[in-house]
């Protein structure tokens, strides 16, 4: 069984004062028997050095260094204290026109810097309604996940775009179908695909976490809005510990 992971993506939220939430989380989950990852804005990574939780970036550049104003390399994130980085989040795919090819290059750059890449995939509402979800997942997995992926350097996050920040959650049958499909693709392609962690993301809350975590091949969650406050994230962590 892959080790479970509760991941919080703070997106473009959080100032230094917000780090009090990590202290509150530490009081309750400092010695949790699941992995806990927080991806704050890059400005706060260095300030997280005392937390017991894993820290991740939300994106990285595919290059090692150079003339890329405003960008951050994977090595810089690692140097600041990160051990993970999100790649291919749908907000990056949309807002910054990131392609599968770019995401594979960013994920490879993450490996090269010793970071674990949380590679995000997921269909839009139009793609689901057109019944192309599994084809989209196949294309994104094939295009975004480097050949050197393994269970130690890669986590896959399935985040249906239509479920992100909307309060809409797929049915457990829909989650089960996609996660089983991802698992079959990973095991077909990678020797240790059975051990690679697959997270669900999209409107995960304390009230629906236990049900989501009961689904086969769901090894944890990638949580946006409900990760910002310890009071909201804590019940999700507890549900994962009890799953
Ligand atoms: O995009 C997400 C995490 O990366 C999910 O966001 P929400 O939990 O706010 O729906």
Tens of pLDDT, residue by residue over 83-130, are 999 999 999 999 999 999 999 999 999 999 999 999 999 999 999 999
Residue 45: the pLDDT is: 98
The domain spans of the chain are: 5-242
Domain 5-242 CATH superfamily: Aldolase class I (3.20.20.70)
Q: Which pLDDT tens digit goes with each residue over 46-81?
A: 999 999 999 999 999 999 999 999 999 999 999 999
CA of 202 to the centre of ligand 1 (A): 5
> Cβ distance 219 to 176 under 8 Å?
no
The rounded distance, in Å, linking the Cα atoms of 115 and 76 is 11
Ligand 1 neighbourhood includes 228 CB (under 6 angstroms): no
The model's pTM is 0.98
Residue 37: the pLDDT is: 98
The rounded distance, in Å, linking the Cα atoms of 25 and 229 is 9
Which entry of 29, 89, 151, 179 is annotated as an active-site residue? Answer: 89
CA of 165 to the centre of ligand 1 (A): 6
Q: Where do we find the tokens 């674990």? A: 116
Q: Which pLDDT tens digit goes with each residue over 219-242?
A: 999 999 999 999 999 999 999 999
Q: Which pLDDT tens digit goes with each residue over 153-201?
A: 999 999 999 999 999 999 999 999 999 999 999 999 999 999 999 999 9
Residue 151: the pLDDT is: 98
Is 224 known to sit in a ligand binding site? yes
Ligand 1 neighbourhood includes 201 CB (under 6 angstroms): yes
Q: Which pLDDT tens digit goes with each residue over 117-137?
A: 999 999 999 999 999 999 999
Is 9 known to sit in a ligand binding site? yes
Please determine, for the modelled complex, whether the ipTM score is greater than 0.95.
yes
CA of 70 to the centre of ligand 1 (A): 24
> Cβ distance 62 to 111 under 8 Å?
no
The rounded distance, in Å, linking the Cα atoms of 203 and 227 is 11
pLDDT tier at 207, thresholds 50, 70, 90: very high
Tell me which of 2 and 83 has the higher pLDDT.
Answer: 83
Is 1 a residue whose pLDDT tops 80? no
Residue of 88, 202, 207, 226 best suited for mutating to test ligand 1, as the one with most atoms within 8 Å of CB:
202
């Amino acid at each position: 069984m892959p080790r479970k992971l509760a991941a919080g993506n703070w997106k473009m939220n959080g100032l230094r004062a917000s780090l009090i939430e990590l202290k509150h989380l530490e009081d309750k989950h400092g010695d949790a028997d699941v992995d806990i990852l927080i991806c704050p804005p890059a400005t706060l990574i260095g300030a997280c050095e005392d937390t017991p939780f894993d820290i991740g970036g939300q994106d990285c550049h595919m290059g090692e260094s150079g003339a890329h104003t405003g960008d951050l390399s994977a090595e810089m994130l690692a140097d600041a204290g990160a051990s993970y980085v999100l790649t291919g989040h749908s907000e990056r795919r949309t807002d910054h026109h990131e392609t599968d090819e770019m995401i594979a290059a960013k994920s490879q750059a993450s490996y090269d810097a010793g970071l674990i890449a949380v590679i995000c995939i997921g269909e839009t509402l139009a793609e689901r309604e057109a019944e192309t979800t599994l084809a989209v997942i196949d294309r994104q997995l094939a295009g975004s996940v480097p050949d050197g992926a393994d269970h130690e350097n890669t986590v896959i996050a399935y985040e249906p775009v239509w479920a992100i920040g909307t309060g809409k959650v797929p049915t457990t049958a829909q989650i089960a179908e996609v996660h089983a499909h991802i698992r079959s693709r990973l095991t077909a392609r990678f020797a240790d695909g059975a051990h690679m962690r697959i997270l669900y993301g999209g409107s995960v809350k304390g009230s629906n976490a236990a049900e989501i975590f009961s689904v086969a091949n769901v090894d944890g969650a990638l949580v946006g809005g409900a990760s910002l406050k310890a009071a909201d994230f804590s019940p999700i962590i507890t549900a994962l510990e009890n799953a």
